[in-house]
C-alpha cells in the first residue's frame, strides 16, 4: 500500500538534498517519478529544486490554484509513476495535501513531501499542518543549532542579523535571511527583538 510521507525540518537540514537523492534512487532503477516545487520558491529558478550543496532538478511549479491530483493522474496514465516528490511542501494548500493523500490511497503512488514545519514566528504553515494531520509517516530530518543542540525553529533576520518578529509568512531566503536554532535560542532571540 502506498503512503503519504512528510519529511520536515528547520532550514539548512538538507531536505532538498534528501529529496533529490530519493528521486535519483528511483530513476537509477528505471522508475518514473514526478517532482513538484512551490512556484514562489525561485532561489535556483522557477520550477527548479536546488540544494545548498549544488544539486538541481527540474520540477513542476505549483501555486494555490494548481491541481496536483489532475497533473499526477495524467502523467500516471501516460506511463506509470513510481513516486511523487514534493519540495517546499509547507506551501501546499490543505486541498492539495488531500489531493496527494488521494494519489497515495486511491491511485497507489507513494508521495514524499519535504518542507518546513513552522515559520519564523513558530507557527505551522497551512501545508505542514495538514501534512502533520494526514501523513502516514512523519520523519524529522535533523539540523544543528549554533549551540550544538537540535535546531527545530527558523529565525528570520534582517541585514544586521537582528531577529524579525513581524511580516508575511511566506518570504523566500537563504542563510542571509534565516537561521536555524533550537527552541531555547529562538525564544531568546525573538524575545530580545521586542
88, 140, 171, 176: the active-site residue: 88
Taking alpha carbons only, the member of 132, 139, 138, 145 closest to residue 187 is: 145
- Bridge partners of 113, per DSSP, are 6, 86
Q: How confident is the model at residue 125 (pLDDT cuts 50, 70, 90)?
A: very high
Spans of all domains in the chain:
4-141
* Mean predicted confidence (pLDDT) in 107-133: 94
N-to-C CA span, the chain:
49
Q: What is the pLDDT of residue 174?
A: 56
Give yes or no: 74 in active site.
no
Please give the full DSSP string across 127-173, using - where no structure is assigned: HHHHHHHH-SEEEEPP-B-TTSSBP-EEEEB-TTS-B---S-S----
The mean pLDDT value of the chain amounts to 89
Q: How confident is the model at residue 140 (pLDDT cuts 50, 70, 90)?
A: very high
3-state helix, strand, coil in the chain (%, to 5): 30, 25, 45
* Cα distance between residue 6 and residue 178, in whole Å: 22
Q: What is the pLDDT of residue 41?
A: 67
Phi-psi label, residue 137: left if phi above 0, alpha if psi -120 to 50, beta otherwise: beta
Q: What is the pLDDT of residue 22?
A: 96
- Bridge partners of 137, per DSSP, are 5
Going 67 to 122 to 5 to 61, the CA torsion angle's sign is positive
- pTM of this prediction? 0.90
Q: How many CA atoms does the CB half-sphere of 160 hold within 13 Å?
A: 4
Architecture in CATH of 4-141: 3-Layer(aba) Sandwich (3.40)
Q: Per-residue pLDDT for 104 more than 70?
A: yes
- pLDDT, tens digit, 9 for 90 and up, residues 147-165: 999 999 888 778 777 766 7
Q: What is the pLDDT of residue 44?
A: 62
Residue pair 122/151 in contact (Cβ under 8 Å)? The answer is no
Amino acid at each position: 500500500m502506498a503512503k503519504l510521507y512528510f519529511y520536515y525540518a528547520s532550514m539548512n537540514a538538507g531536505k532538498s538534498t534528501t529529496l533529490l537523492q530519493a528521486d535519483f534512487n528511483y530513476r537509477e532503477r528505471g522508475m518514473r517519478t514526478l517532482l513538484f516545487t512551490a512556484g514562489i520558491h525561485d532561489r535556483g529558478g522557477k520550477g527548479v529544486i536546488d540544494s545548498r550543496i549544488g544539486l538541481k532538478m527540474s520540477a513542476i511549479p505549483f501555486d494555490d490554484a494548481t491541481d496536483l491530483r489532475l497533473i499526477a493522474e495524467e502523467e500516471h496514465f501516460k506511463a506509470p509513476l513510481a513516486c511523487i516528490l514534493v519540495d517546499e511542501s509547507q506551501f501546499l494548500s490543505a486541498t492539495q495535501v488531500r489531493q496527494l493523500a488521494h494519489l497515495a490511497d486511491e491511485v497507489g503512488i507513494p508521495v514524499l513531501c519535504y518542507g518546513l514545519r513552522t515559520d519564523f514566528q513558530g507557527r505551522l504553515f497551512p501545508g505542514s499542518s495538514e501534512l502533520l494531520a494526514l501523513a502516514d509517516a512523519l520523519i524529522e530530518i535533523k539540523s544543528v543549532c549554533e549551540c550544538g543542540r537540535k535546531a527545530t525553529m527558523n529565525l528570520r533576520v534582517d541585514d544586521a542579523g537582528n531577529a524579525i518578529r513581524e511580516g508575511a509568512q511566506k518570504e523566500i531566503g537563504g542563510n542571509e535571511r534565516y537561521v536555524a536554532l533550537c527552541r531555547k535560542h529562538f525564544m531568546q532571540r525573538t524575545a530580545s527583538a521586542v
